[in-house]
């Protein structure tokens, strides 16, 4: 029997559930969700190995009815140019992040993400614009806290304080990891008055278009 057509969402862990939630808020889109937690965290895989892994998963998803794929992981999105054509549209998080910031933003923009995402420099390049300063911070322990369910612990509080303290004067903060919206209230407590930008809604809008 031929599998029914659906949108596929792929991520390492549960971060992509925020993207799925945004999709559900705007209509009932049939979704095939693949959490690739059984492999090495994407931020730790060499670039060529991560691209090969994504290519393998894309083939699996297409065989199971995917007519479009959302890569709901910033680290994985940084290597999409190296992944062979999957035969269906593939959307990452980088373009959506640019949309949620918007072309009119002026001021200081903070960006927090995992090691691969930040060290790739992709957000510094993509978000650079006149009248805009982009400040990036590696926030790797935060996704681990979300995955482990330890977001209410003193250890998580200390990590949040350490990561966010240098960003106290930014005008907006881009959450460049799909795990971080799960702790957005705790981030907001430490950055009063700072607008938090979550690309998940922009992804949902791009899927609808």
Handedness of CA 99, 101, 102, 103 (dihedral sign): negative
Neighbour count for residue 33 (Cβ, 10 Å) = 17
**CB proximity list for 133: less than 8 A, separation 6 or greater:** 107, 108, 109
Give Dmax (Cα) for the chain: 57
User: Of 93, 127, 176, 177, which one is the catalytic site residue?
Assistant: 177
Phi first, then psi: what are they for 27, rounded to 5°? 130, 160
Contact 173, 112 (CB under 8 A): yes
Question: No. of H helices and E strands in the chain?
Answer: 10, 8
* Residue 156 designated active-site: no
Handedness of CA 72, 74, 76, 78 (dihedral sign): positive
User: Of 34, 73, 97, 203, which one is the catalytic site residue?
Assistant: 73
Which residues are part of the catalytic machinery? Answer: 73, 177
């Amino acid at each position: 029997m031929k599998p029914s057509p659906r949108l596929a969402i792929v991520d390492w862990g549960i971060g992509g559930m925020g993207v799925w939630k945004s999709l559900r808020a705007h209509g009932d889109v049939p979704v095939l969700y693949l959490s690739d937690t059984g492999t090495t965290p994407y931020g730790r895989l060499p670039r060529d190995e991560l691209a090969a892994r994504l290519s393998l998963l894309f083939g699996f998803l297409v065989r199971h009815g995917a007519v479009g794929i959302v890569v709901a992981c910033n680290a994985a999105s940084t290597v999409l140019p190296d992944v062979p054509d999957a035969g269906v549209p593939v959307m990452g998080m980088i373009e959506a992040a640019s949309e949620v910031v918007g072309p009119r933003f002026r001021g200081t923009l903070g960006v927090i993400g995992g090691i691969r995402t930040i060290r790739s420099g992709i957000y510094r390049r993509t978000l650079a614009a006149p009248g805009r300063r982009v400040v990036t911070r590696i926030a790797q322990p935060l996704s681990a806290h979300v995955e482990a369910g330890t977001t209410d612990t003193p250890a998580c509080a200390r990590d949040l304080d350490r990561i966010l303290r240098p960003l106290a004067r930014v005008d907006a903060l881009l959450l460049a990891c799909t795990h971080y919206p799960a702790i957005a209230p705790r981030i907001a407590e430490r950055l009063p008055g700072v607008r938090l930008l979550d690309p998940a809604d922009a992804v949902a809008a791009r899927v609808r278009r």
